[in-house]
Amino acid sequence: MERIYNFSPGPATLPTSVLERARDELLNWRGTGMSVMEVSHRGKEFIALAERSVDALRELLGIPDNYRVLFLQGGATMQFAAVPLNLAGPNDTADYVTTGNWGVKAVGEARRYLHANEAATGRDGNFTSIPDPATWRVSDDARYLHLVSNETVVGVEFHETPDVSDAPIIADMSSTLLSRPVDVDCYGVIYAGAQKNVGPPGVTVVIVREDLLGQARPETPTVVNYRAMADTDSMSNTPPTFTWYVAGLVLEWVRAQGGLDAMAERNHRKASKLYAAIDGSDFFDNPVDPACRSWMNIPFTLADTNLDALFLKQSAEAGLANLKGHRLVGGMRASIYNALPEAGVDALIEFMSDFEARHG
Ligand SMILES: *Cc1c(COP(=O)(O)O)cnc(C)c1O
């Protein structure tokens, strides 16, 4: 069977060449006579792999020397708790900007640990736009400002880093990391679950500024304590070795594609043509403010929702998988991460235009 175009929001499509390489090396990794899953994480081969992947991420993102790169577990959801535990005490305040359901989840979790102030929200407009940063009600004493750089469900993305608070910005970049360059030094902490652009689920990239290490509450679990994990090169306990290995292959693949400038150019082109197809039709609609439309996740609805099931059935038959929208917003969603080829976007646009001609 041929590989299809997989528009899944996550776990998401991986580059075919990465999967082929993992297959080829599966039984005998780097001449060890074992798979990478079977070797010690303390052995020199795996330590070298870990170092190479951290170096590759540093190079791709241009991460300054005063930041540490951690590979943790527990997903982005674990970071919703790890951030307040590492950066603030129970009586402290932190600002949260909610531009979609992930931001809402993050502030909900944070409320268990500190005073979380919702400084701005897109809720009133059904999360179809980002409130103007000039209107955000930030706290004078906030320990940090948390935002979600790309909201995976509603398809809203910050295209610039807001500059409204003296507090460090903590960003959930789960569905945008590696899709474009980032000014890392605008942030205190950047985190991302791997299963969108970085690799398979199981690893969470955390990039933390060194001055924010060492402030964790005593009760913080060691495996999410930034200081403890930085001091052990993310190996206080057994890391998810296979995921880490595949993430390393993805980082090499991104480098071979020309790095993040090249990824950004391609991702912008892919998103622009899909938005143009949606906007150019009366049959399809995307409600998001064009100023903050996501390059990665593009929700759209059909003029006649009775046709949703047929659209999904026929698109799947045409080799375009996982286009069903999130249950919160309905309709369709095309997630077009780095590894979703431009030809897949072209095929989707062609299918949409054909479907409209038949049913519009
Ligand atoms: C997928 C996603 C999450 C959840 O990640 P888990 O690894 O499942 O915890 C959080 N935030 C954003 C922006 C996401 O896209």
Closest to 161 in 3D by CA, of 180, 141, 139: 180
Q: Is 273 a catalytic residue?
A: no
Give the ligand 1 atom nearest the CA of 100: 13
pLDDT value of position 278? 98
Distance from Cα 358 to the centre of ligand 1, integer Å: 37
Catalytic residue among 29, 95, 196, 270: 196
Q: Whose CA is nearest to atom 14 of ligand 1?
A: 174
Closest by CA to 69, choosing from 47, 51, 82, 88, is 51
Give residue-wise pLDDT tens across range 132-182: 999 999 999 999 999 999 999 999 999 999 999 899 999 999 999 999 999
Cα distance between the two ends of the chain: 32
As a whole-number percent, the residues of the chain with pLDDT over 70 amount to: 100
Rounded Cα distance, 299 and 258, in Å: 28
Best residue for ligand 1 mutational test, from 79, 175, 206 (most atoms within 8 Å of Cβ): 175
pLDDT average, residue stretch 189-210? 98
Write out the two tokens for 106: 């993050």
User: Percentage of the chain with pLDDT > 90?
Assistant: 98
DSSP 41-102: TTSHHHHHHHHHHHHHHHHHHT--TTEEEEEESSHHHHHHHHHHHHH--TT-EEEEEESSHH
Q: Which residue out of 8, 78, 102, 196 has the highest number of ligand 1 atoms within 8 Å of its CB and is therefore the one to mutate? A: 102
> What residue ranges line ligand 1, CB within 6 angstroms?
10, 75-77, 102, 148, 152, 172, 174-175, 193, 196
Q: How far is the CA of 25 from the centre of ligand 1 (A)?
A: 29
* 196 catalytic residue (yes or no): yes
d(CA 86, ligand 1 centre) in Å: 19
Tell me the residue type at 13: T
As a whole number of angstroms, the distance between CA 172 and CA 102 comes to 9
- Residue 1 reports pLDDT greater than 80: no
Which residue has the least CA distance to atom 4 on ligand 1? Answer: 76
209 - beta bridge partners? Answer: 67
pLDDT digits (tens, 9 = 90+) for 61-96: 999 999 999 999 999 999 999 999 999 999 999 999
How many Å apart are CA 293 and CA 117, to the nearest integer? 25
Q: Please, which residues have CB within 8 angstroms of residue 231's CB and are 6 or more apart in sequence?
A: none
Q: How close is the Cα of 204 to the center of ligand 1, in Å?
A: 10
Tokens representing 57?
A: 């991420």
Q: How many whole angstroms separate alpha carbon 282 and alpha carbon 293?
A: 19
Q: What is the DSSP letter of 336?
A: -
- Both structure tokens of 275: 């938005």
- Report the greatest alpha carbon distance in the chain: 63
Please work out, in degrees rounded to the nearest 5, the angle formed at the alpha carbon of residue 136 by the alpha carbons of 133 and 138: 125
With cut-offs at 50, 70 and 90, classify the pLDDT of residue 112: very high
Quote the ligand 1 centre to 270 CA distance (angstroms).
23
The residue whose CB lies within 8 Å of the most ligand 1 atoms, and thus the one to mutate among 77, 105, 190, 297, is: 77
Q: What is the pTM of this model?
A: 0.98
The 8 Å CB, 24+ separation contacts for 236-241 are: 238/41, 239/41, 239/50, 239/71, 239/73, 239/203, 240/73, 240/202, 240/203, 241/36, 241/37, 241/39, 241/41, 241/46
- Residue 150 is encoded by which pair of tokens? 């790309």
Task: Find where tokens 């993430």 sit.
Answer: 247
Distance CA 114, CA 82 (A): 12
188 within 8 A of 209, measured Cβ to Cβ:
yes
What number does the ligand 1 atom closest to the CA of 102 have? 11
CA of 171 to the centre of ligand 1 (A): 12
In angstroms, the CA 240 to CA 209 distance is 24
Q: Is 105 a catalytic residue?
A: no
Bridge-based pairing of strands 5-6 and 297-302 is unpaired
Residue range 268-296: average pLDDT? 98
